[in-house]
Amino acid sequence: MNNQLFKNVDDYIMKLFATEDSSLIAAQKDATDANMPEISITPVQGKLLHTLALTCNAKKILEIGTLGGYSTIWLARALPEDGHLITIELDPHHAEIARANIKRAGLEPKVTIRVGSALEVLPEIKSEKLGPFDMIFIDADKPSYPEYLKYSLQLSRPGTLIIADNVIREGDVLDENSSDERVVGARRFNSMLAVNPALTSIILQTVGAKEHDGMSLAVVNR
């Protein structure tokens, strides 16, 4: 694949539509300086999520996997004045960096970080009746994606948009015999989307600043 061309085109799209302001630049810098893994979404993907959140009039957003809050900022910026985003993060250090990044972006009043394993926090969110969410972004540990989809459906309403990152993994999902738990999780997740009659779904391949991957989009049928 012509990776340099994909990067150049991603850069072109970024400069036209997704230039980062000082809060987003600082959020990335602080995450890197804190030695966090460089696995956040790209600016162009951030603008895609932001645009989709506006499209579905999202007032309540749920994110699974915060890291340094980079995707959180793109999403929360699409919220109306009385909108809210809950983001779940396992690692307290990641959550601490994210909290500072979200605060600097002026989004503290609109964002709640729930620290803990998503498989423990999701049932809490359910029992606290914090749903249904208008949009859900799944981006935490890949082996648990099938479980995250089950909870997402329980926290949805007709019209909810459920998005998941990293569902193609440089094409590794083509290997039906893969022993990589992340690939197994993504493959299982993708087929759950495909066969669920309550969902209308598709996957977009993503190329550009990061490695070849994909994002799934699924809407809960009305």
Position 166 contacts ligand DHB (CB under 6 A):
yes
Position 89 contacts Mg ion (CB under 5 A):
no
Total number of residues that touch ligand DHB (CB under 6 A):
4
Q: If we measure between CA atoms, which residue out of 193, 85, 99 comes closest to residue 131?
A: 85
Pick one of ligand SAH, ligand DHB, Mg ion, none as the site partner of residue 118 (Cβ within 5 to 8 A by kind). Answer: ligand SAH
Please list every residue from 7 through 66 that binds ligand DHB, using CB under 6 A: 39
**Nearest distance from residue 214's CB to ligand SAH, in Å?**
14
Tell me whether residue 39 or residue 204 sits nearer to ligand DHB (CB atom): 39
Cβ atoms of 142 and 186 closer than 8 Å: yes
Please list every residue from 146 through 165 that binds ligand DHB, using CB under 6 A: 165
Residue 42 has what DSSP assignment?
P
What would the 3-class secondary structure string for 104-171 be? HCCCHHHEEEEECCHHHHHHHHHHCCCCCCCEEEECCCHHHHHHHHHHHHHCCCCCCEEEEECCCHHH
Q: What is the gyration radius of the CA atoms in the chain, in angstroms?
A: 17
Q: List all residues 6 or more positions away from 9 whose beta carbon is below 8 Å from its beta carbon.
A: 208
Position 134 contacts ligand DHB (CB under 6 A):
no
Total number of residues that touch Mg ion (CB under 5 A):
3
Q: If we measure between CA atoms, which residue out of 77, 48, 73 comes closest to residue 208?
A: 48
Q: List all residues 6 or more positions away from 195 whose beta carbon is below 8 Å from its beta carbon.
A: none
Site track 116-155 with Mg ion (rule: CB under 5 A), x = hit? -----------------------x----------------
Position 165 contacts Mg ion (CB under 5 A):
yes
Position 204 contacts ligand DHB (CB under 6 A):
no
Site residues (vs ligand DHB, CB under 6 A)? 39, 139, 165-166
Q: Which residues bind Mg ion (CB under 5 A)?
A: 139, 165-166
